[in-house]
């Protein structure tokens, strides 16, 4: 599809791959634009029933594309990050929302570390399968050689965006969200699963097979009810109170 994102289809399954391995799949403005384009294309594709999102090895995504990783001090890292001119927030939230709103079931195959916006992107998927070696964290804070999950924005001198903050609160509640976002801790895949942020953890060598098996499981189900319950769960999660009307619940058969 582009140098930043690939979109591959095989039968009823589409795989979207973040493809900037030389930059650890960091989320540049161009990549986020291409991601939105891919998700928009899939939204209107009536042949695709499951969407897999992953990163070109060896990581899932290092988060926002910025020059701070080369900084030698915390002060320089923060300065470089905050001075970078980018539409990241606007473009990221657009791509994240487009992914979350897909009618198809979505599986995030986290094949390496997911940092900052990279971790936030995983939360827009319905299911998250992670390699046991993967780690999650919010990276604007810190850099690490080892794959992890973490949210580093605060350490980098910026707040985490509204979209990702909202999703963390939905998943784990305000208290735990504060620990993750304000504490900038790094989490292993197993720790992220214990928090409810990862669906399943498997050895890296078995990750693709596990995702394939779960995809096959979803494909056995009739698409319409699967899509409808997904939309209802998302709506109730976002609004707190279900909106029930005749269009969602159907009409009485009065003959």
Coil vs helix vs strand at 83: helix
**Helices and strands counted in the chain (H then E):** 9, 10
Which tokens hold the place of 28? 């540049």
Task: Kindly report the pTM of this predicted structure.
Answer: 0.85
Residue 140 has pLDDT above 60, yes or no: no
Residue 254 has pLDDT above 70, yes or no: no
For the beta carbon of residue 177, count every other beta carbon within 10 angstroms.
21
Position 163 scores a pLDDT of 86
* Domain 5-221 class in CATH: alpha beta
- What average pLDDT does this structure show over 18-39? 94
Position 146 scores a pLDDT of 38
Which tokens hold the place of 166? 């909202």
Position 110 scores a pLDDT of 95
Position 162 scores a pLDDT of 86
Which tokens hold the place of 47? 């042949």
> pLDDT tens digit string along 90-120?
899 999 999 999 999 999 999 999 999 999 9
Contacts for 207-215: CB closer than 8 Å, 24+ residues apart: 207/109, 207/111, 207/129, 207/130, 207/131, 208/109, 210/129, 211/52, 211/107, 211/109, 211/129, 214/107, 214/127, 214/129, 215/13, 215/50, 215/52, 215/107
Position 142 scores a pLDDT of 41
Residue tagged 């969602």 (tokens): 248
CB 25 within 8 A of CB 48: no
Closest CA to 91 of 114, 132, 120: 120
> Which one-letter DSSP state was computed for residue 70?
G
CB 90 within 8 A of CB 162: no
């Amino acid at each position: 599809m582009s140098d930043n994102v690939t979109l591959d289809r095989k039968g009823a399954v589409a795989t979207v791959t973040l493809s900037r391995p030389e930059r650890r799949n960091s989320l540049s403005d161009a990549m986020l634009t291409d991601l939105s384009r891919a998700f928009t294309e899939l939204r209107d594709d009536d042949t695709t029933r499951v969407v897999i999102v992953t990163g070109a090895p060896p990581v899932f995504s290092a988060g926002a594309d910025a020059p701070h990783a080369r900084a030698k001090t915390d002060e320089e890292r923060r300065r470089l990050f905050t001075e970078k001119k980018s539409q990241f927030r606007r473009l990221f939230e657009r791509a994240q929302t487009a992914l979350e709103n897909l009618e198809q079931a979505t599986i995030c195959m986290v094949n390496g570390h997911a940092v900052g916006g990279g971790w936030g992107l995983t939360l827009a998927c319905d299911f998250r399968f992670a390699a046991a070696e993967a780690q999650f964290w919010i990276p604007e804070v810190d850099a690490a050689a080892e794959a992890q999950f973490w949210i580093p924005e605060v350490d980098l001198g910026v707040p985490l965006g509204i979209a990702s903050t909202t999703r963390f609160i939905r998943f784990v509640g305000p208290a735990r969200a504060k620990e993750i976002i304000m504490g900038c801790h790094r989490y292993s895949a197993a720790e992220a699963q214990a928090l409810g942020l990862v669906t399943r953890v498997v050895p890296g060598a078995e990750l693709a097979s596990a995702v394939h098996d779960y995809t096959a499981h979803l494909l056995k189900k009739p698409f319409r009810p699967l899509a409808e319950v997904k939309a209802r769960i998302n709506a109730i999660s976002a609004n707190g109170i279900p909106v029930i009307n005749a269009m969602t619940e159907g009409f009485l058969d009065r003959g």
